[in-house]
Structure 1
Amino acid sequence: MSGPNWLRATITDAEPLTDRSRSLRLTVPGWTASLPGQHVDVRLTAPDGYQAARSYSLATSGPGEDLELGIDRLPDGEVSPYLVDIAQIGDSLEVRGPLGGWFVWRPDDPRPIQMIAGGSGVVPFIAMIRARAAAPDGTPFRLLYSVGSPATSMYRSYLENPPAGVTVDWIYSRTAPAGTTRPAGRLTKLDLEKCAVPVHDGPLNYICGSTGFAEHVSQLLIDQGHPASMIKIERYGGN
């Protein structure tokens, strides 16, 4: 069975998130709706006809023809450098989606939600948090966000003042801000014990980050006693 068709999208807004990432707002005629946690394929076409496509998480969800992407530039990337450094408001590109039906949150799910993000893996959780804020009866949400330093934190201003019912905890792997008691370093079992929804509360755990990050965190959760069936993982690679 064939997947969604490619649709023409126009960039309507672009905002820097860090010195190496930005958000892009797109209007996509023919787009219908997406669930929080889904992603899209983005395709660029060069003047000589060469095409390159990569997948990016959606920072928005719901109905309508407007959507938002959060994109982190990779030094050796083929698509992300263009989207972060070159693409301008009014430019067009192609998108296909929404894609992915497993790594999603549905507002009628009553379970506590634990989200654990590494770097740009926070983007699908922005969509989930925004959807939860719009839901009439929100279930408890907790985000544990592991980043290299405050300067590399995507959507930082939004997450520093999250919607009611959402708790955000920060882990810095390389440079911690002044005044924090936890030294910079990799996310640990102790961090989960302090900053994650405990096993006995029966949370649904979402992990999004690099393959190494996702495998490390999922093993920590399993070691704590979380059932594998209650852990959803989304890995990302080069773009």
Structure 2
Amino acid sequence: MQLIAGGSGVVPLLAMARARAVADSAAPFRLLCSTRSPDDAMYADEISRLPPAAFTVSWVYTRQPPPGWPRTAGRVTDAELAQLCWPPAERPAVFVCGPTSFVEAVADALVRIGHEPARIRTERFGGSS
């Protein structure tokens, strides 16, 4: 399962991760979190404690990455989605949650890199673009 969060969109996706842990599921999860800076990362401590064998967590910082971070600040790109998410050939269920503009951009990018639109679920908040 692929989870992609923009800002506070991590909250409902983290609930899915918690439910997976309670169910003692072996299904592998990947979580991609996009946030302005490490200081803005909601639930970062809890996310850092997710078992690495079951959860792969990646961070994208849009405004201020931590010192020494290998990526410059900016929005998540198609190339990063291709690198950090399950490949389309795996046919993952993909859940994207965040502000409307983030969700629309990420969902469109996922389709561009080959994910099936029917396997992408979105939850958005804020105004429409």
> Hey, what does 1:122 align to over in structure 2?
10
1:233 and 2:122 matched? yes
> Hey, what does 2:31 align to over in structure 1?
143
Identity %: 46
Question: In the alignment, which of 158, 166, 187 is matched to residue 76 of structure 2?
Answer: 187
Aligned equivalents of 1:158, 1:171: Cα separation in 2: 17
Root-mean-square deviation over aligned CA pairs = 1.1
Q: TM-score, normalised by structure 1?
A: 0.51
Structure 1 position 190, deviation (Å): 1.4
Aligned equivalents of 2:107, 2:11: Cα separation in 1: 19
Aligned equivalents of 2:19, 2:81: Cα separation in 1: 25
Runs (5+) with no aligned partner, structure 2:
none
1:175 and 2:64 matched? yes
Match runs of 1:30-41 below 5 Å? none
The superposition leaves residues 41-68 of structure 1 with CA deviations (integer Å, 9 ceiling, x where unpaired) of: xxxxxxxxxxxxxxxxxxxxxxxxxxxx
Q: Select the structure that is richer in helix.
A: 2
Question: In the alignment, which of 30, 47, 58 is matched to residue 159 of structure 1?
Answer: 47
Q: Which amino acid aligns with 2:12?
A: P
1:181 aligned counterpart, secondary structure = coil
Quick check: which has more Rg, 1 or 2? 1
> Hey, what does 2:109 align to over in structure 1?
220
Runs (5+) with no aligned partner, structure 1:
1-112
Structure 1 position 133, deviation (Å): 1.0
Structure 1 position 137, deviation (Å): 3.1
> Hey, what does 1:61 align to over in structure 2?
none
Stretches of 4+ moved more than 2 A in 1?
none
Aligned equivalents of 1:135, 1:173: Cα separation in 2: 33
Match runs of 1:80-95 below 5 Å? none
**Greater RCO (Cα-Cα under 8 Å, separation 6 or more):** 2
Q: Which amino acid aligns with 2:3?
A: M
Structure 1 position 136, deviation (Å): 3.1
